[in-house]
Each structure stands twice: as C-alpha cells, then as structure tokens.
A and B are shown apart, each in its own frame.
Chain A
Amino acid sequence: MALTGVEIFKLLPKTNCKKCGYPTCLAFAMKLAQGQVSIDSCPDIPEDIKQKLAEASAPPVKSIMFGVGDRAVKLGEETVLFRHDKRFVNPCVIALEIKDTLSEADINSKIELVLNSEIERVGQKLRIDAIALTNDSNNVSKLNAAAKIVATKASDVPIIICTGNPEAAEIVVKQFADKKPIIYGANPENAETMANIVKTHKAILGVTASAAFGGSGGGLTELSTITEKIKSLGVDDMVIDSGARKAKDILRDNTLIRRAAVKKNFKPLGYPVITFAQREDSLIEALIAAIGVAKYSSIIVLSSIEKWKNLSLFTLRQNLYTDPQVPMQVKQNIYKIGEPTPDSPLLITTNFSLTYFIVSGEIENSKVPSYLAVMDCEGLSVLTAWAAGKFTATKIAQFVKESGVENNIKHREIIIPGYVAILSGAIEDKLEGWKVTVGPREANGIPAFLRSRAA
C-alpha cells in the first residue's frame, strides 16, 4: 500500500531547502506519492527513512529476475487482484519438471522439448520458460549428474533446483554459477542453511511451508514466518509455495497471498508464488495450470509439455496478461487465407487483433480462398478506427497502393466492411481503376457473402 503525500511529508526533513528542485518539502512529497520523482533527489533524508520510503513505494509483489541473458524472465511486480483494475504485469513462467531418476536419454529428450517449445502467436514468441529439476532419487550424486546434463544442454534456460537437502543444494548450485537459479527447498527446518547457500551463490530461494521436505505444513502463517526469518538473514529474492496442490487449496492460498500483498501490503507474503501442477492426466494438469495462470501463480511446474497443451496454456497466459487498456495488434500486411489465386477476392479490415481473428476465421469458414488486407489502425476496430480518422479513404488508398497487392491480383476490386460503406465513393476517387464493393457489416455475414459471389 503506497503512502500518501502527507504521510511521506511527515518523514521528510521539512526544511524547504529546495535542493530537490521543488519549492517545499510538501510539494516534493506529493510528487513522490505520485511516483513522478525519485527519493534520491532529496540529499538530506537519513538512510533508514529512505529505505522505508522505498519499501512503501515498491510493488506489493516483489520483482525478481530469474535466470540471466536472453532467456531470463521477470517474476512478480503484480499490483492487482483483477486484470480489469489495471493489468497483470509479468506473465507466469511455465516450467517443465525433469526428475533426476530419468535416464540420460530421457533427460536429453525432455530438454529438447523445452528448447523446441517456441510458438509464435499474434507477434509474440511464447515458450516453456524454465526447467524444474527434482531430486526424486534423494541421492546427491544422481541429482548432480542430472544437473550437469541440464547445465550443458540447456545452459541458458532458467532452472529451478528442487531439493530440501542443503548438502545437495550446495553442490548442485555450482553447476549454475552466475545463472541466477531458484533453489526450491527452504522449509522451517533448513531455512537458515538454505538462506546461506542462496546468499553465497546469488540464487533465488524457493520457500515452502509444505510437508514436501519434512516441513509441518502450517499454511500461510507458517510460510510468512519462514520468509520473515529468511529476510532477516539478508535474503530477499524468494518465491513462495504454501504447499497447496489440490485445485481448491491452490485457489484459496493464491488468492489470500495476493490479497494480503496487494490490499494489506503484507510483505512476508509479497513474493511470487510457485505452483506445482503435476498430474497423471495431462488434460487435468492443463486445467490445474490454467487455474494458476488466472489466479496469481508466477511459476507453474508441469510434468509434461505436449504441443497442444503448450499452445492452450500459452494462449490463456497471453490473453489474461494483455493490458486491458492497450488493444492487441496484428502486423499490417496482406494475409493469404487458403490458397488464393490472382482472381481471388481482396478484403480489407483494421489491425485490431480480435477483428483480424474474427474476419480471417469467417473467411476461412467460407472456404473461399481470399486475400485479407490488414491495415495498421493502431489496434482499433473498424468503426472506432473510422471514427478516429485512422481508417479513411485516403489512408486506405495509400495502403493499397503501397502494399504491392496489385502484383498479386489481376482484378481491381476491394471489399470493405459494411460499417464503412460511406467510404466507398471516396476510395474509388482516390484509387484509380479500382472498384469498391461493400461487404457485410458483421463478420458472420462473410461466409454467405463470399460463397454467393463465388457461385
């Protein structure tokens, strides 16, 4: 919970010295409260107060970089319970579990799946972000051998080392020196040792209150006690696990954790949440993971990553982490639908992703191969773009000429959305030799429209 201007003012020197560039300390406090100026602009605030203010203005869920290099992913930084209130910030990480009991060949093939998981959707590259190596063998050298394979073959993939055994953690973490891995394994019994390992190796600490590693499973109260203890030992990069594994418990604990962080600014639970969604049945696993995507998990661990499952989860994550205030856009282009020939119809619409999806889907349903010209209108839908002056006769004419579509088609006819029928004359004036046809107002009229023309 951010401090108000007045609350901040009470902590300032109140000298009105103007060194910060503002006439009074109160004016400076107000700017601070709005996040428009850094606390460092005031040279006279004592360190401890500076820290207090910095803490108060930090996002309620701590921001943590996991991994290094191109594949590094940011966790946390969330500020809301509902995406419509602002937006969800850092898309949850999806990780594949690799057990150290697997053969080298099996470990290799799982790594291959992770490395080849990338799918492009609406201009975004989506993939399995991380690997969770688990110590199912309970054997230190086995874990270390598996870690060696992962470190070699997937050297830039962020890694979660899952072990509650400090001795194993200490050895294995060296395979990932300077890679900012997560060591998931602090519990009430080993918290201190684990914290020291993480501190030495600049790793992130996964903390659990569950019985998984011999903890007593006391839920959120116990979890917050451990994170406080670990923080007091100088480690603040943590991801937390309440121990919830059942859908009901995941939803409850994740909701309470996010609520405590966002509404109460309760720091001991203000860390990214890791959720273990592994199930026998891959479809059920996908649905448990989907609960994590929608309800506040920052890392979700899966036992298998079939392509159909990845596509579904990536898409859900992309949908829910979209900024509700910024429309999703498709690249301006002439898209081929089906296998159009130089005689195939040419339709035009705007580049709002939803408009594109619906229009291209309906063209596909029509089974009439076509060209779809998608024009950059800053992600606005047809009517909005028209009203905003971004989908006008002049701009459409210019786009058609510059797009090079004239080389692809023999005819000179363009089908415009029925909602902008009013533009047809003006486009014909500006696009010499072209005929403008008014299409249906709604996309669901496209199949009948195209089929009747083709007949």
Chain B
Amino acid sequence: MAFTLPKEAYTGKVYSVTIGTDDNTVAFGGENVLPFHIFEGVVPNRPVIAYEIQDVPPDDWPENIQKPFETVSNDPVTWAKFCQDVLKAKAITLRLKGTHPDRQNRSPEDAAKTVKDVLSAINVPLIILGSNHTEKDAAVLVAAAEAAKDKNCIIGKAQEANYKTIVAAAIANNHKLIAMSELDVNLSKQLNILITQMGLDREKLIIDPMCSALGYGLEYTYSVVERIRVAALVQNDLTMQAPMLGDIGMYVWKVKETQASEMDMPQWGSTEERGITWEAVTAIALLLAGAELLIMRHPRAVGSIERVIEELY
C-alpha cells in the first residue's frame, strides 16, 4: 500500500485584518488552511501578539507579572513606550480597567484622554478594550473610538448586551471591532450576524470566543475556537471567517497556578517559571486551535511564543 498525501478539502478562507496606519501596520488572518498548515495552503500572515497595558497601575496583577513593568506601569504612556521600544511589541492593547465602577470609575472623557496620550506616544497599532462592564463599556468605548478616529485601531469588546453603540462607534471612526460571546459557537455566529447587519463590514470583525486559562476551562475555549475555524475553512461558513482573539493574560494571571508560592505548593515548583509557562502554554494551545491575535503580558512568555511561531513557518 503506497502512501499518498491525505489532502483536506478546504472551501473557505479567514479574512486578513490589517490594523494601524501608514508604515506601521500589522496584519493577521488571511489563511485558507488550518493553523500553521503551510504545507497545504496559503498562510500570508503570522499570528500577532499584543502586549497588554492598562490605564491605571496594575496593582490587581500578581507580583510576578507586575515585576517586569514595575518602573513604567505607573503611567500608561511610559508603559506603552516601554512595550514598543524595549520589548519590540508588534501591537499594544490598552485595557481601560480604571473605568470599571468597582475600580477607579474613571469617566469616558478621562479614558479618551488616555487613549489620545498613548496614541501620540507610539507608532505600533493599538487595541482599545473596556473594563468588561457592559454598560460602562458602551459609553467608554464610544469616547475612546472617537479619540482614536481614523487610527485604524481595534476596539472592544462588543457583547450581546452592548454591541449597538459600540458597533456604531467603530463604523463612524473607522476601527476594527472585537465581538465577544461566551464560549458557544452559535452565540458567536449570531452576534457576528447582528453586528454585520448594522453595517459593519464583516472583514472588520474579530471574534473573541471567550478565553480560558490552562486548567480552568481551556478545553472549552480550545474546542470552540477549533470548531469555529473548521466551520470557516471546511464548511465555508461566511459568518465565522473572522480572525480570532485569545485574550490570554487576563485569564492566566488570576489563577492559582500563576501565583501560589513554591513554599505553599512544593509540588508545583518555581512560581515565576510556572506563571510564565502557564501563559505560554495557554497561548500555544489557542494558536494551534486557531487564534490569530493574542493579548499577553509576560515578556518571556511572549518571547518564547514568538520563537515557536518562527519555528512553525
């Protein structure tokens, strides 16, 4: 019995999404095969990793992930410049955490100012996220989208409860948009349809199927991402062909495994190495499942993932 190459019949393609302006753009997505299957199709872009920063000091982050940024994280502008200039970030994610009512409850105007300040300090593309408070995000993201008008950013996250105003703001100010639903292929599909029906070009959409950390439901995210990607490529489902986001850092750096001391958990080994590996392993799993855009925190986790991505091409 002679070996013949078993081919997969692909009929669909993931949209390529470009963010940023002038010479400082990055693109992700665009492939017509499963993740890293360069042996059987076209994969024009590599996944992009965006460093996560926030508008307020990260005092809610565990010590080991505060450390790499301790000299810069008091100010979002310094922090952003550090990521761009020192860490060579390809993109930056500004999370407007301080706008959350349970946090500093910063106003949409304050948030807009932070966005403007950060944008004027960096060249790399910017992703602007709310605090994941659906009501407040609707107001904050509208102000942020206006402040970043025509900078070709990504704004998010639009969810079922608040997508209308956020979608309108993305359209009016020429941004890309993250649509997030909770770990369900059909919910994601439905939200994408609602959003495109409002007039957002479907090639401006990025799907966030909701992330989970390794050990804390990663298998659910993994399979939802994989199913969305198979639907896009094999079943040519036009509503599922947007690139996907893995919002990793936020989920990883709150689980016990990234924080518990080695003294408390001798069987778990070094806390620092464990945290970094936890973030990196979560990232590689989601890349293999089909995510094209990752939001991450630790420079060593990002560095190792970039090296492995290099090796996958």
Q: Which A residues have a C-beta under 8 Å from some C-beta of B?
A: 82-84, 119, 121, 220-221, 224-225, 228, 246-248, 251-252, 255-256, 259-260, 263-264, 266-269, 281, 283-284, 286-288, 290-291, 294-295, 306-313, 315-316, 318-320, 322, 324, 354, 357-358, 361, 364-365, 448
Contacts and interface: CB of A to CB of B under 8 A. Distances in A.
B267 to A, nearest CB: 5
Given A221-B2, A269-B3, A361-B256, 18 more contacts: A83-B226, A119-B268, A248-B312, A251-B312, A256-B5, A266-B3, A268-B1, A286-B280, A287-B304, A287-B305, A287-B308, A291-B284, A291-B288, A307-B268, A309-B269, A312-B214, A315-B214, A319-B222
Contacts of A266: 1, 3, 6
B257 interface: yes
A114 to B, nearest CB: 14
Contacts of A324: 219, 223
A310 B280 CA distance: 14
B225 to A, nearest CB: 10
B214 A316 contact: yes
A83 B6 contact: no
Interface in B202-247: 214-220, 222-223, 226-227, 230
B254 interface: yes
A361 B216 contact: yes
Interface stretch (B17-25, B33-41, B110-118, B162-170): B33-41
B217 A354 contact: yes
A455 to B, nearest CB: 14
Interface of B: 1-6, 8, 36-39, 102, 214-220, 222-223, 226-227, 230, 254-257, 267-270, 273-274, 276-278, 280-281, 284-285, 288-289, 300, 304-305, 307-308, 311-313
B219 A247 contact: no
A224 B281 contact: no
Nearest to A286: B277
30 contacts: A83-B219, A84-B226, A119-B267, A220-B3, A224-B2, A228-B1, A247-B308, A247-B312, A251-B37, A252-B39, A263-B6, A266-B3, A287-B304, A290-B281, A290-B284, A290-B285, A291-B308, A294-B284, A306-B269, A308-B270, A308-B273, A311-B268, A315-B257, A316-B218, A319-B215, A319-B285, A324-B223, A357-B215, A357-B216, A358-B217
Contact of A221 (B3, B217, B300): B3
A311 B274 contact: yes
A294 B288 contact: yes
A295 B268 CA distance: 25
Contacts of B38: 248
Contacts of B226: 82-84
A294 B214 CA distance: 13
Contacts of A320: 219, 222, 285
Contacts of A357: 215-217, 255
A307 B305 contact: no
Contacts of B305: 287
Among A82, A121, A306, chain B packs the most CB atoms within 10 A around the CB of A82
